Amino acid sequence: MNNETDDISSSAVDQREDIGVPDGQIGSISRNNSGYSTASMRRIQIAIQRKALNQQDVEEMYSTGETFKPNSMKKVAQKVKKSCMCSFPCLLFFLKQRFPILQWLLNYPVKEYLLSDLISAFTTLFLHIPQGMAYGLLASVDPVNGLYTSFFPVLIYCMMGTSRQVSVGTMAVISLMAGSAPGKLGAVSKQDVVNSDLAGFAVNLSLNTTEQVLHSMVEVDGSGDPFWPPTNLEVVVSLCLITGLFQIVMGILHLGSLTVVFSDQFVSGFCTGTSVLVVVSQLKYLFGIPARRFTGPFKVIYSSINIFSILKNANPATVLIAAISIFILAVVKEQINARFREKLKLPIPIDLVVVVLATLVSYMGEFNKNYGVDIIGEIPTG
């Protein structure tokens, strides 16, 4: 027993020398190890003296000379993998957010909304058919392309939209902006083929064949590039594709909130300027004159000067048809539909009625042959 105490005492002395335990505490340590007391152990003060190390000191003392550089591509792959991993409820929630039709279609009140929605659908249909054809001409493409543009945005917004009051479709300002792009790039149209030396071969050709003839014209001229100049349709399609990509990126970044910075004065001025552009661009069709198409600044002034300089060549039959059509549209829209809005369950689709009646009268009277009235011609089926 004494030998064990001596061993413990000697070890305690060594510990005191190492950690700075006072001499008076050694006996308490020996008694504690012998089982006599533990109260004195609580009064031991341990002082650890060592140098504080930073990251550079650790690297100098323990580094093997090789620096660790994490693989950035591997880290990106891990983050992408982690973000793409989700459960079925998470996937279902994501789809409902992107396609709200999955939420409201299951809870759609058929008895309450079906009749009014059908009336709205037919009203929009009757309105978009003549509008789509007209906006196709504004965009310097065929009317059938305007019909396609009137159909697909409505279908997509039905699945992905969140507002019941928004009517999505073609717009005059977008059509005008898209129609100005072919002129800046020097694109050619079907009318250019008709007026060229190859008119006899291209008048009765379809759209694809006409584009082939346009490209063959370049080969005959010896320019060396069979794909330049492009056609109006090629330029407009490319512009729409790039614009759609920009809109997708802006939608991902939620940049739609930037529209709040547009003041009412700015929007009003923009709409007024657009209306002036639309009126000036349609004057040549109202009078049936071959006016030039201008691009760039002051194009409204240049177009107006050009139109009024050749106004003496206006087609009387075209002017008469335009005047009658405008009068009928104004009377029905402003007087009948506006005054009897509460009594009419479905507004009179006067736009479509005027288009159908004018088409029948022009076809039966052969206005194109007898009076030189410009017609759209055959519209291909989709």
In the beta sheet, which residues pair with residue 231? Answer: 188
Enumerate residues 6+ apart whose C-beta is below 8 A from 32: 38, 40, 41
* CA dihedral of 268, 271, 272, 277, whole degrees rounded to 10: 160
Exposure string for 266-291, b = 16+ CB within 10 A, e = fewer: eeeeeeeebeebbebbebbebbbbeb
What pTM was estimated for this model as a whole?
0.59
Enumerate residues 6+ apart whose C-beta is below 8 A from 127: 349, 351, 352
Residue whose structure tokens are 């709200």: 100
As a whole-number percent, the residues of the chain with pLDDT over 90 amount to 3
pLDDT at 71: 65
Q: How far is CA 301 from each of CA 142, 275, 286, 304, 305, rounded to the nearest angstrom?
A: 26, 14, 18, 5, 6
Q: How confident is the model at residue 122 (pLDDT cuts 50, 70, 90)?
A: confident
pLDDT at 205: 46
Weakest-pLDDT range from 31-45, 320-334, 353-367:
31-45
Contact 191, 213 (CB under 8 A): no
How many helices (DSSP H) and strands (DSSP E) are in the chain?
19, 0
pLDDT in tens, 174-225: 887 888 788 777 777 765 555 554 444 444 444 444 455 455 544 444 455 6
Q: Is 231 helix (H, G, I), strand (E, B) or coil?
A: strand
- Domain positions in the chain are 2-51
User: The tokens of 68 are what?
Assistant: 């660790």
Weakest-pLDDT range from 186-200, 220-234, 316-330:
186-200
Contact 359, 378 (CB under 8 A): no
Say how far apart CA 376 and CA 355 lie, in whole Å.
12
User: The tokens of 125 are what?
Assistant: 């249909």
pLDDT at 327: 93
Q: What average pLDDT does this structure show over 322-338? A: 89
Contact 157, 168 (CB under 8 A): yes
pLDDT at 154: 82
Q: Is 32 helix (H, G, I), strand (E, B) or coil?
A: helix
Q: Is 188 helix (H, G, I), strand (E, B) or coil?
A: strand
Contact 179, 139 (CB under 8 A): yes
